[in-house]
Amino acid sequence: MSGRRVIKYRIGSETIRIMIDRRVYMPSAATLCLAKNLHMERGSRVLDLGTGSGFLAIFASKLGAGEVVATDISPRALKAAKINAMLNSVDNVDFRLGSLYEPVRGEAFDLIISNPPMTPSRNPLPRYTWGGPNGREVLDEVIRGAPSHLKSGGRLIIPVISLVGIGRTYRLMIDSGFKVRVLDYLVHPFGKRLIKLLDYLSNLPDADYVYDSCWRPCWRLLVFEGVRS
């Protein structure tokens, strides 16, 4: 741990410290927008699916979660997330390795949070960002699997970028049995990776993006909350 640089993030009255690791997804605009909209009853049982640096799991713990289960398919991410939990003096996060809901088979939660990899690309990208050719490969499975891992009245909170189809995501959540509302939204300029993918993205049927006042292409992001009836 020593010698590694640490970034401090401030959300409301909480400060979260995250060690920089270029091979792990660092908290992004989507992560912070989700975090800003996180609310729960004290003592809630929370699942953070695809925890990356552990940021959202750590934040959920600081907000009063009774227990947090944080999963990831990447052993490296889990190692970093465990260190970050220690850095933030958080000791009620159970880190588990595995894909999607496999590490929590048969378990139910009050709240599921997830910021899945959603970059659409024909060619593989780093796993922490690649969502398959249409960007939806992990996202769709997170939504479809959520109802059977939520207690009655339990909630799923996910950010969705317009490059994967916001309307399509909304419909999938409704079809999966959720009552859905939008908690927040933002508009964010493309980074270098997305600029290179502009031609590909412009031909995807569900993808959309807008231009800002400086003519930069931007994705839109909505934070959806689905309540299980």
Residues binding ligand SAM (CB under 6 A)? 25, 27, 31, 50-53, 55-56, 71-74, 77, 99-100, 115-117, 127-129, 138
Kindly tell me which of 14 and 229 has the beta carbon lying closer to ligand SAM: 14
- Calculate the CA dihedral of residues 226, 130, 6, 92 and round it to 10 degrees: 40
Q: CA 220 to CA 208: how far, in whole Å?
A: 8
Collapsing DSSP to helix, strand or coil, 123 comes out as coil
Q: How many other CB atoms are found less than 10 A from the CB of residue 22? A: 5
> Which tokens in the block code for residue 116?
């899945």
Residue 3 C-beta: closest distance to ligand SAM, Å: 23
Residue 9 C-beta: closest distance to ligand SAM, Å: 10
If DSSP states are collapsed to H, E and C, what string results for 64-104? CCCEEEEEECCHHHHHHHHHHHHHCCCCCEEEEECCCCHHH
Supply the DSSP symbol for 119.
B
Residue 18 C-beta: closest distance to ligand SAM, Å: 9
Q: CA 48 to CA 58: how far, in whole Å?
A: 10
To which residue do tokens 């796993």 refer? 127
Residue 68 C-beta: closest distance to ligand SAM, Å: 12
Kindly tell me which of 107 and 174 has the beta carbon lying closer to ligand SAM: 107
Residue 52 C-beta: closest distance to ligand SAM, Å: 3
Residue 129 C-beta: closest distance to ligand SAM, Å: 6
Kindly tell me which of 71 and 153 has the beta carbon lying closer to ligand SAM: 71
Kindly tell me which of 16 and 166 has the beta carbon lying closer to ligand SAM: 16
Residue 158 C-beta: closest distance to ligand SAM, Å: 10
- Given a contact cutoff of 8 angstroms between Cβ atoms, the answer to whether 133 and 120 are in contact is yes
Kindly tell me which of 71 and 121 has the beta carbon lying closer to ligand SAM: 71
Kindly tell me which of 191 and 211 has the beta carbon lying closer to ligand SAM: 191
Kindly tell me which of 31 and 44 has the beta carbon lying closer to ligand SAM: 31
For residue 146, the cross-strand partners are none
Alpha helices in the chain, H assignment, sequence order: 29-36, 55-62, 75-87, 137-145, 166-175, 192-196, 198-202
